[in-house]
Amino acid sequence: MATPKVKKPSKNDREAEEFFNDKKTKFKWITAQAQFISNKVGVHMPKPSRGYATWLFLRGCLTAESLIRLFDPQKANNAVYLDHASIAALSRALIENMAVLLYFTNDDLSPDEWECRKDVIYLHDNINRGQFLTGLDPTQTGPPEKLLKELRTKLENNPAFQALPQAKKKNLLSGKDMFVTGRHQEMLAFGWGDATTGGIYKYLSSHAHSMGLAFTRTGVNRIFANDSGAPRATAGFALEFASSALGVGCLHMVKLFPYIEAAFDPLVFGSMKSTYTPSP
């Protein structure tokens, strides 16, 4: 009996596999550096922004480790599936996490600017928490109106808030946004440029929300075929930018806690700095 021929992966499939393997290696490396930084910081809260930095960064480290656990494909009989959609969705979550870290723990902010951002976040949290709870249980009362009034009054008396455009102030006071400057604007800190930043977020969001961009070409691209490079290309793309955001976050934490640099091997820190310092 003739031995059945095994179809060889195409050039594109092989290149996608190599691309994915390269991005996995780089992601694991920057995750190890992030975990090292997080362990060196520990519980360290000389001022509120530092406390929030440690919490946000630890959350990022946990997300990164969860991503790494998705690198091994799932097996079902003879089928092998790489969960590229979850890698894309978690990469977006990690990028957003690092964007909030940079936004809320920026030492270049004046006291008024930081208080403005803090109170906007608190107002957004209380309004949306109330909508969430009352949506689940109509007998819930939501946040006390007195608290919302106090937060709005603090903002209206804040010089940094007063300097904002009227439409922006109205939007923030309604609890519709937690970013004074906007999410996209804060993500520009990663150095990817305006158009690329928007494109990355749109693509990764399509996988997080199961939009058409994420699944309508499943058949054409043979997404669930064992030898398909398509899911690996998607996962590698997501990891490339997740690594970049985490690397920027690592350098930000060292800036906030300068004593950490001395704990690094100079070659390792130099490599991290040269690789992940954002483009101007």
Query: Quick check: is 28 in a domain?
Result: no
Predicted confidence (pLDDT) per residue in 26-41, tens digit: 999 999 999 999 999 8
């690329």: which residue's tokens?
196
Query: Quick check: is 74 in a domain?
Result: yes
Query: Quick check: is 34 in a domain?
Result: no
Residue 181 belongs to domain spanning: 46-276
Predicted confidence (pLDDT) per residue in 229-255, tens digit: 889 999 999 999 999 999 999 999 999
Q: How far apart are CA 117 and CA 176, in angstroms?
A: 14
Query: Quick check: is 4 in a domain?
Result: no
Query: Quick check: is 230 in a domain?
Result: yes
For residue 183, what are the CA distances in angstroms to 98, 117, 176, 200, 257?
11, 13, 12, 13, 25
Query: Quick check: is 6 in a domain?
Result: no
Predicted confidence (pLDDT) per residue in 56-80, tens digit: 999 999 999 999 999 999 888 888 8
210: left (phi over 0), alpha (psi -120 to 50) or beta: left
Query: Quick check: is 266 in a domain?
Result: yes
Choice between 62 and 143, residue whose per-residue pLDDT is larger: 62
Domain count, the chain: 1
Query: Quick check: is 9 in a domain?
Result: no
For the whole model, what pTM was predicted?
0.92
**What pLDDT is stored for residue 143 in this prediction?**
77
